[in-house]
Structure 1
């Protein structure tokens, strides 16, 4: 059992993350006292930062830059209480083919730590073998992908199954963050290891 103001949380993303799906958890979890770090793969558009995709931006859709605290290859699940995976279509699509990212997510799950994914980020959970036999949600466009991976897909703001937290879209962010806080307080979860 870990109070949120004692928690260490890792957000893993790369260029093209959905802007509010990284910034809202980052800001809200830090405001609650958690130590939150952002990790990204070595290769990004600009050294030391990742750049959001912001569909509302004009004329170009690249949004805010977020400082990267750690390289993906430097982080270990043992050092954190939870991992948060923002969505957007590009970000999880790149991360689900990144073997370091998949291995890290599997390690969080194997250690019974909180794994939270929103929007398209459940693609990463599918790739890590964490969907089968679970209740999950996601952005509606990847519902079939999640179901084909063996999950029961629910159209709800936030779905939790043995410490795996999923949400649908930026509209669900407050519920998503609240559930991460609740799950961190509950502590480690027993679950089958990722395949």
Structure 2
């Protein structure tokens, strides 16, 4: 199973792609990049990435190869992804199929606009993004990474390593499950 990485066609936040990709490679997790179009895309700090799939292409071929959808943030995410109907549909499909949906920096706004963060805890980059999330009825927590119900949000590139680690854990097991010693299933 792979991670589908959604990336804007320009001005993505370099560390929010490169750090998770490095962590995925170290853990043996495979991934694919998708965007609004194929080809080379450039980050705000000058790093380049090659995109081989479009969101529409993934919608047409299905999501059965993926266990997670990870959305990279950056200025290009606000411009190109926040209201992208194909990406919003992908988010809804991943969520309906109980797959992981994750966003970092300002990318959690796309997840909120897809309607799956209503009355759910999340985090996002500070600033106007908080108001955007609240418009969609998300409950904002001031933490670097928040994950619950297979939805993972991170506040920015500083949290990229922890964000990637949570995504990797979902591939291997369920990081939300906490075993207890009580026979009744409750911790006392």
Q: Same fold per TM (> 0.5)?
A: yes
Matches within 5 A, 1:144-155: 144-155=131-142
Q: Aligned with 1:103: secondary structure? A: helix
User: Which of 70, 74, 77 is 2:53 aligned to?
Assistant: 70
Q: Which residue of 2 aligns with 1:60?
A: none
Name the CA distance, whole Å, in 2 between partners of 1:160 and 1:96.
20
Name the CA distance, whole Å, in 1 between partners of 2:135 and 2:54.
32
What is the TM-score normalised by the length of structure 2?
0.85
Q: Which residue of 2 aligns with 1:181?
A: 168
Larger radius of gyration: 2
In the alignment, is residue 157 of structure 1 matched against residue 144 of structure 2?
Answer: yes
Name the CA distance, whole Å, in 1 between partners of 2:50 and 2:83.
23
Name the CA distance, whole Å, in 2 between partners of 1:92 and 1:180.
23
Structure 2 gap segments, 5+ residues each: 177-188
Q: RMSD value over aligned CA atoms?
A: 1.6
Structure 1 gap segments, 5+ residues each: 1-6, 55-62, 190-195
In the alignment, is residue 90 of structure 1 matched against residue 84 of structure 2?
Answer: no
Once structures 1 and 2 are overlaid, which stretch shifts more, 167-176 or 68-77?
68-77
1:112 CA displacement: 0.5
1:97 CA displacement: 2.0
Matches within 5 A, 1:1-195: 7-14=1-8, 15-42=10-37, 48-54=39-45, 63-75=46-58, 76-141=62-127, 142-186=129-173
1:28 CA displacement: 1.2
> 1:136·1:153 contact (CA, 8 Å) conserved in 2?
yes
Name the CA distance, whole Å, in 2 between partners of 1:130 and 1:154.
16
Name the CA distance, whole Å, in 2 between partners of 1:168 and 1:96.
16
Name the CA distance, whole Å, in 1 between partners of 2:171 and 2:85.
26
Q: Deviations over 1:72-121 (max 9, x none)?
A: 22213222010110111322431122211111111111111001100000
